[in-house]
């Protein structure tokens, strides 16, 4: 792999200049969201501290209404990324506040992520 940059500036620049070139790949075992950019040939890693899922403006995960366990927001996001990855897009990105907003067009969920670390890797 090429150079590694430990800054949110590179992913912020990608999102500002060519947001349609960013594609979400997966969440790895360490909880990092991996995003690839086809324009600048970088892979961005974002270590998530917290994930909140909601449909429209209503947060998910209220009181339990059935015997089934309600999946966590991280599990819902991982399911979306596995089932229909092309439908999950970045809707907002703020490296000053360490926030990333995702939207799944397939199931109409929105995910708000609190990120602790941004890192970008230049593809060789």
pLDDT-above-70 percentage for the chain: 88
Per-residue pLDDT, 64: 47
3-state SS, residue 18: coil
Residue 19 in contact with residue 80, Cβ under 8 Å?
no
Q: What are the φ and ψ backbone dihedral angles of 64, each rounded to 5 degrees?
A: -80, 125
3-state SS, residue 72: coil
Give the pLDDT confidence of 30-84 residue by residue, as tens digits.
889 999 999 988 999 999 999 999 885 555 555 545 556 788 898 899 899 999 9
DSSP 39: T
What is the distance between the alpha carbons of residues 30 and 117, in angstroms, rounded to a whole number?
12
């Amino acid at each position: 792999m090429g150079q590694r940059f430990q800054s949110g500036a590179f992913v912020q620049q990608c999102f500002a200049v060519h947001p349609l070139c960013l594609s979400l790949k997966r969440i790895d075992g360490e909880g990092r969201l991996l995003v690839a950019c086809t324009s600048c040939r970088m892979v961005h890693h974002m270590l998530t501290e917290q994930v909140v899922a909601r449909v429209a403006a209503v947060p998910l995960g209220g009181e339990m209404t059935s015997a089934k366990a309600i999946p966590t927001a991280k599990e819902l996001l991982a399911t979306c990324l596995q089932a229909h990855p092309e439908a999950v897009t970045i809707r907002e990105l703020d490296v000053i506040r360490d926030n990333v907003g995702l939207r799944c067009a397939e199931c109409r969920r929105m995910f708000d992520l609190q990120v602790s670390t941004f890192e970008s890797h230049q593809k060789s």
